[in-house]
């Protein structure tokens, strides 16, 4: 099973990845919990560049994320799935569709095609989007904001709206969850939905 958890920065994705990983391990399953950008040596280098580096054009940003994702799929995700492990990923392709495809105006179809090409068609079985008000998400974030977070609540609100568009376009794969709820309640909702994938 391959599940990704999405949302604006500060929506609680990392918490839900950890709780789902704990639940699946409790069932005796092998779980690979990973994140994007990151998950590999190349991915972590790209993470530092896109989150803490200089400003960049939208397509440069999209291409860097796609390159990181291609390596992540080849080195981590596909091998895990091939040996029967579950993969729980903090962000995957839908981040690029929301941030670059919609919020940066590059186009969902163009960004999706780039990613489907480098991923050889690999998509999550299910994607959960934690829908949360941009200002509330901003208040939850810890530490110094990264390059994308510094674009402010207005940009994050655009990204949140973009995820809603994606959920409407790909309802068979993407599900919106109320990210303002208690983390335990969200985790329970996720568990109920992944039971059908096990």
Q: What is the pLDDT along the chain (198 residues), one digit of tens a residue?
A: 999 999 988 889 999 999 999 999 999 999 999 999 999 999 999 999 998 999 999 999 999 999 999 999 999 999 999 999 999 999 999 999 999 999 999 999 999 999 999 999 999 999 999 998 866 766 666 677 777 777 778 888 999 999 999 999 999 999 999 999 999 999 999 999 999 888
- What residues does each domain of the chain span? 2-197
- Residue 135, pLDDT score: 67
- Residue 151, pLDDT score: 77
Distance between CA atoms of 118 and 105, rounded to whole angstroms?
21
DSSP state string for 66-80? HHHHHHHIIIIIHHH
- Residue 150, pLDDT score: 73
Question: Could you tell me the CA-to-CA distances from 46 to 34, 40, 42, 62 in Å, in that order?
Answer: 15, 10, 6, 11
- The fold for domain 2-197 equals Rossmann fold (3.40.50)
- Residue 147, pLDDT score: 75
Please give the model's pTM, rounded to 2 decimal places.
0.93
Length in residues, the chain: 198
Angle at 198 between CA 21 and CA 37, to 5 degrees: 40
- Distance of alpha carbon 100 from its chain centroid, rounded? 13
Angle at 83 between CA 78 and CA 87, to 5 degrees: 55
């Amino acid at each position: 099973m391959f599940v990704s958890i999405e949302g604006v920065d500060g929506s609680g994705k990392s918490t839900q990845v950890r709780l789902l990983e704990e639940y699946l391990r409790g069932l005796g399953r092998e779980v690979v919990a990973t994140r994007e950008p990151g998950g590999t040596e190349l991915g972590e280098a790209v993470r530092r560049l896109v989150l803490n580096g200089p400003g960049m054009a939208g397509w440069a940003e999209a291409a860097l994320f796609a390159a990181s994702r291609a390596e992540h799929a080849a080195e981590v995700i596909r091998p895990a799935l091939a040996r029967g492990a579950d993969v729980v990923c903090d962000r995957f392709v839908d981040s690029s569709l929301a941030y670059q495809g919609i919020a940066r105006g590059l186009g969902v179809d163009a960004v999706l095609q780039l990613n489907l090409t480098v991923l050889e068609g690999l998509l999550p079985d299910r994607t959960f989007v934690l829908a949360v008000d941009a200002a509330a998400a901003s208040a939850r974030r810890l530490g110094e904001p990264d390059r994308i977070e510094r674009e402010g609540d207005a940009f994050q609100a655009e990204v949140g709206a973009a995820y809603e568009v994606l959920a409407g376009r790909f309802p068979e794969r993407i599900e919106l969850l109320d990210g303002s709820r208690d983390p335990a309640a969200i985790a329970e909702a996720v568990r109920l939905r992944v039971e059908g994938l096990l």
